[in-house]
Structure formats: C-alpha cells, structure tokens
Amino acid sequence: MPLKTISLIIISLIVVISHAQSISINANIVNYDKIKRDIEIYVNNEILIWQAQGKFEGTNSYLKRVNSTTRAKKVVEFTDNKINSIARDRIIPTIESSEYDPDNEIYELKIIGLPAIYLNVPTINNEANSFDNNINSITFLNPVYALTEKGFMLIAANIYNPINYRTYYYNYKNKIHFKKNDIQLSFDPIKIITSDYKINVDGQNQTAPVSITLPNSKENTRADSSSVRFILDSKKNIAVIGLDPIGISINNILALEIRVSSEIFKTGKFNLLERKKMNEILAEQGFQLSGCTDEACMVQAGKLLNVELIAGGTISKVGEIYSIDLRIIDVETGQIIAVSTRDIKGTIEDVLTIGVKESVANLIMYD
C-alpha cells in the first residue's frame, strides 16, 4: 500500500500584472509542474520526519511541539527552503539593463530571466553614478526567491557594489515610486492558501492566484493555516541584550552593542526597548546581564523586560577575521527565529560601520 502523504497547502506568491508593465516568463524555470512535484515530495518527507515523536520526548512536550499551528509554520519553512534551494542552483542574478529616476533616486533593474526589481540608490556621494558605471560588477548576496506560475522571482537580496563597498537592501515589500512609468509597488500580506502579491501601476491590478496542494495524509488531518501569516503587519517589542565578546575589548564591544541596537531600530520593523530603561528594569529585578548569552538566560531576561523578542549574540576575533553571530529569540516559545553569521576581514572600524549593518540586515530579512 502506498503511504498517503499529508494534506497541506504550500505558499506561493501571486503575481499581479498591469498592462503598463509586463513580466516575461523566467528562462531559468524549465518545468513548473515538475518543480511543484519536487516541492511536494520534499515537504511531505520533511513533515513526516518532523512530526515523528522522539524516543525520549514526553507526550506533553510532543503535543506542544506538534500541533496545527506549528505544523503550518513548518510547511511555510520547508516550502521556502526548497524553492530557494532550487532557485539558487539555477539562477545567478545578472543585470541586463537599468533605468534611473533621479527625482526619487530609484533604479529599475532588469535582470536576465527574472522580473525587474526597483532599488533605492541615492545620488549623494556619487553613489548612483558609481552603481551605473560598475553595473557589471554588482553582486547579489543572500538572494531570496519566490515561485510563481511564470517562474522564479527575486523578493529580497543584499546588492553590493564592490567599487565603493556599498550594500543596498532590496525587499519586494518596500513601497517604491518610479517616475518614468508612474509605477508604485504596493504589496498586500501573503497568507497561506490565498496569498497576494501586487504590482500597482496606474491603479490597475490583475490577479493570478497560485496554490500547491499536497495529497491527503493517512491521519486525514490538515494544518490550520488561518492563524499563520507569512508577513506580519504589526511591530513587535524587542530588546537587545549585551553581546558576548571573544578577543575584543570591553570598550569596543560596548560600541558594537550600541550599533546593533541602532541598526535594528533603523529598520523600522520593531519597537525597541531603550537601553537605559532595559538596564533599570533588570537592576530592579536583581538580574545580572553580564554573560547572559545562552537561550535560557535570554528568554528569562525577555520575560522580565516584558518584550516579545530578545536579540543578542557573540562577536569574536580570530587572527584578522572578525565573526559576528546574531540571533533573535521568541520569548514566549524560547525558539530561535532568526540567525545571522557574518565574517569580515579588516579593522574593528569595518566591523562597526559595515559588518554590524549587514548582519542586522540579514537577521531581519524574513521578518
């Protein structure tokens, strides 16, 4: 008897195309149906492994770990992992041509085999000019892809200009105004089953829904995906505790801690607890923050601070290499929800001005 697979809904982005902007079929996708099947097989196998009860896992712990909500989240995670694994094997983002809107400081970048993206590159310090002069040297770091019926599309990336060492952070959720075609990108949150990805041009929309449904499971159960959001609308409260230094002076680590907090605040995605207020609260509770780098201690601090998320990590130096390891922990569940590791060869000033900024950008990529 063949094993019945789990009935789950896999997220896929919906592409909305207006008459003013066409998106060509992605040259990097050969067989959409085959890719869907590969994803279905992968997600089914991973879910079966994940939901199996461990040999030493008690019933209460198992039921807390495996339920309709956590299973639906895992479907999103496994689907995203497989889509990006396939895409990165097939695609090396290469800029084919570009147009620049100097009024809004926005580049329209046409990428070979992918839909165009819109990127903010300011004119200050000749950044836009340097970007244009070195267009063939531009590098896409940590690209994140989505899959539509027309092929893959780039939804996030760190775009690096090696000539002036500038990194630009692209995310499809950013609201953009491009003067040349009066284009404004406005994206609704993507939800399981009925996701929406919209490109608004002159106020006209077309919608093309995409969904992938896996076969029924032998348990005949379905993940309750209604409570799971691929993109969260509201900001969460976050606190940044001290970083654990290895081979770095106390004065330098304090400066780096302040910069991590500043970069997280500048993303505009969180309500950041002020450092002074955080220290006051912990002092009143008699809580010692020094050396608090493991997950259990970070969660305890987060509960005392009454925040939803707690951020921390380690910054170390070995030889000429600095390693920045940051993570965000969900205080309620105690689970690590985001991790960023960045190695940088250079000075402590490079770590402060470049390394921390890029590490935080990677950390909040899947907010």
Give the Cα separation of 320 and 332 in Å (integer): 38
Other residues' Cβ atoms within 10 Å of the Cβ of residue 142: 15
Angle CA(293)–CA(64)–CA(214) in degrees, nearest 5?
110
Per-residue pLDDT, 184: 53
Better-scored residue on pLDDT, 120 or 199: 120
The reported pLDDT for the residue numbered 25 is: 42
| Residue 66: DSSP 8-state | S
With cut-offs at 50, 70 and 90, classify the pLDDT of residue 243. Answer: confident
* Residues 320-333 pLDDT 10s: 899 999 989 999 98
Q: Pairing relation of β-strands 336-345 and 321-330?
A: antiparallel
Q: How far is CA 305 from the centre of its chain?
A: 25
CA dihedral defined by 267, 236, 196, 43, rounded to 10 degrees? 100
| Stretch 345-351: mean pLDDT | 88
Mind listing the pLDDT tens digit for each residue in 282-302?
A: 888 888 777 777 888 888 888
β-strand partners of 338: 328
Q: How is the chain split among helix, strand and coil, in percent rounded to 5?
A: 35, 30, 35
Domain segments of the chain as ranges = 1-231, 236-363
Of the pLDDT bands very low, low, confident and very high (cuts 50, 70, 90), residue 13 is: very low
- The answer to whether the beta carbons of residues 119 and 168 sit under 8 Å apart is yes
What is the reported pLDDT for 234? 60
Q: What is the pTM of this model?
A: 0.45
CATH code for the part of the protein at 236-363:
3.40.50.10070
